[in-house]
Structure 1
Amino acid sequence: MNDCLVLLPGWGVAPAVLQPLVDSVRLRMPELEVRLVALPIDSGSEPEHWLDTLEAQIPHNTWLGGWSLGGMLATALAARRGSSCLGLFTFAANPRFVAHPDWPQAMPEETFSAFYQGCIQDSAATLKRFSLLCAQGCPGGRAISRQLAAYYQQQTADEYLSGLEVLAKLDNRSCLADIKAPQLHVLAAQDALVPAGAAQRIAGLTSKAEVHLMESAGHAALIEQPEVLAGFLTAFLRRTHP
């Protein structure tokens, strides 16, 4: 297999947060090229502008993937690219991050609004809260939140807010059904940001996707259990593109 997998990080963090996963994947599939791409934080607050920037940065005919917001953007880009996307992988990525009456398996709108307002008032405190929420459900707990803090990307308050706005505006429910390429979506059973119930709903949106739920794992499981996630990913790649 001589293909390329491009991975995108989550909100507020640098691509290096994905390096433990990349290292685990490379141990299993040294023939696979894996690239990390940063989120386009200087592209405003409209998802289409972020996707335009990623479209220009990421070669066609690659596998696309990402964690959380990165996974949501990878999903939207995969739908946009059609046959020039080889496949899609996401971890802890909800098709819709903020809850809606017809998609309650997401963060309640009032919780997201409070998080957004907190970022306006004190982005540093909000990032700390974000780290704690990501680590919730991970056996490592606070140690994982401290590790995640080391990956914070230096951004202005406006850039953090723009990322949150993109997170709130993205709705990939129709995208999942449109994507013809193989899909793997892995969620965490103890995730404090993406409810585990989203896994069943994702499976109901498309018959073309594999959906797995990692037990005893939270939103930041890619830091704590990269080898488990790499196992899901590499097995999927070999099944769908031997």
Structure 2
Amino acid sequence: MPDALSELTMTTRAIRLTIRSHFLKEPVMRATQKTTLILLPGWVLGPRPLMPLARDIERHDDAISVQCVAYPRLKSRRLDVWLEALDAQLPDDVWLGGWSMGGMLAAALAERRGGRTPGVITMGAGARVTPPIHAGGNLPSPESWPGWFDQGRHDAWHLGKRLLKTLPRAGARQSVTALALLGAMDLRQTLPRLTMPQLHLYGEQDFLIPASARQVVAGHLSPAGHMQLIPEAGHGFVIDQADQTARAIVAFMQGASRGSNKLEEPL
């Protein structure tokens, strides 16, 4: 009997250790799951220009998975229709990011999703569109945009050639619809309501989002909003300074996971 009792006691201890080990390891396994960042593209450019940035982000932190997505083909110019379509298309519990128009849509979608969005990354996105982008309601040709994207930089010609190679064959109607949406968006009421961590990146010499436009964003940010400049960069910093942009994004996302980000001074 003593031997049988001793054997039973040892077996019970082994079972307890196995159960304890299982529940101790489970949180560690969950912690290693990747964080997903969705990147929405700028007007008419499609996701291809953002792919080098996505690769750089994943290279700097292999715990982050980046998805560059294309917009659904919509005929409506209403923001709520676009947000409903994107909400249905994109998974929950992912960081939302985007460049230019994509950044504005990411912020608007984050407000709609609320707690289903752990964080927001915008790049070259204003609170609203101002001239010359939508002056007089005229539609700029897609071929003319690469030059605008890099105003203030000495390598505008080189960046323009790179952008032209990535331009999708977007239909004129789709381009007009997206431009009408872009011209109607106004995030001045949206930004103060965002409570999740946000990083708003800007090119220091961005002709489309100058200091005055950045100050409007700064004046409407909630305490969770952060702003950062990419030095000596135009609107195309996500392309010609992809590595530096990736470093800033990774540092912010890592800081957000630790709760250690600090708000930048208004730009």
Q: Is the TM-score greater than 0.5?
A: yes
Which residue in 2 is equivalent to 1:122? none
AA at the equivalent of 2:56? S
Query: Once structures 1 and 2 are overlaid, which stretch shifts more, 129-138 or 76-85?
Result: 129-138
Query: Once structures 1 and 2 are overlaid, which stretch shifts more, 143-152 or 189-198?
Result: 189-198
CA distance in 2, matches of 1:9, 1:141: 20
Which residue in 2 is equivalent to 1:150? 165
Which residue in 2 is equivalent to 1:117? 138
Report sequence identity in percent. 32
Instruction: Compute the TM-score of the two structures, normalised by the length of structure 2.
Output: 0.80
Instruction: Compute the TM-score of the two structures, normalised by the length of structure 1.
Output: 0.88
Q: Report whether the alignment pairs 1:70 with 2:102.
A: yes
Assess if the C-alpha contact under 8 Å between 1:222 and 1:229 holds in 2: yes
Count of aligned residue pairs for this structure pair: 225
Assess if the C-alpha contact under 8 Å between 1:43 and 1:50 holds in 2: no
Instruction: Write out aligned runs for 1:1-20 (5 A).
Output: 2-20=34-52
Instruction: Write out aligned runs for 1:56-135 (5 A).
Output: 56-98=88-130, 107=131, 112-114=134-136, 116-119=137-140, 126-135=141-150
Q: Which runs of 5+ in 1 are unaligned?
A: 99-106, 120-125
Q: Which has the higher contact order (CA 8 A, sep 6+)?
A: 1
Q: In the alignment, which of 245, 256, 259 is matched to residue 229 of structure 1?
A: 245
1:135 CA displacement:
2.1
Query: Which digits, 9 at most, give the CA deviation of each residue in 1:152-195, with x for residues without a partner?
Result: 12122111111110101111111111111100001112112122
Q: In the alignment, which of 79, 85, 105 is matched to residue 47 of structure 1?
A: 79
1:128 CA displacement:
2.0
Query: Once structures 1 and 2 are overlaid, which stretch shifts more, 198-207 or 59-68?
Result: 198-207
Which residue in 2 is equivalent to 1:161? 176
> What root-mean-square deviation, in Å, do the aligned CA atoms of Structure 1 and Structure 2 show?
1.5
AA at the equivalent of 1:150? K
CA distance in 2, matches of 1:148, 1:129: 11
CA distance in 1, matches of 2:113, 2:173: 29
AA at the equivalent of 2:86? L
Q: In the alignment, which of 36, 46, 54 is matched to residue 22 of structure 1?
A: 54
AA at the equivalent of 2:65? E
Q: Secondary structure at the match of 1:234?
A: helix
Larger gyration radius, structure 1 or structure 2? 2
Assess if the C-alpha contact under 8 Å between 1:139 and 1:216 holds in 2: no
Assess if the C-alpha contact under 8 Å between 1:138 and 1:224 holds in 2: no
Assess if the C-alpha contact under 8 Å between 1:41 and 1:163 holds in 2: no
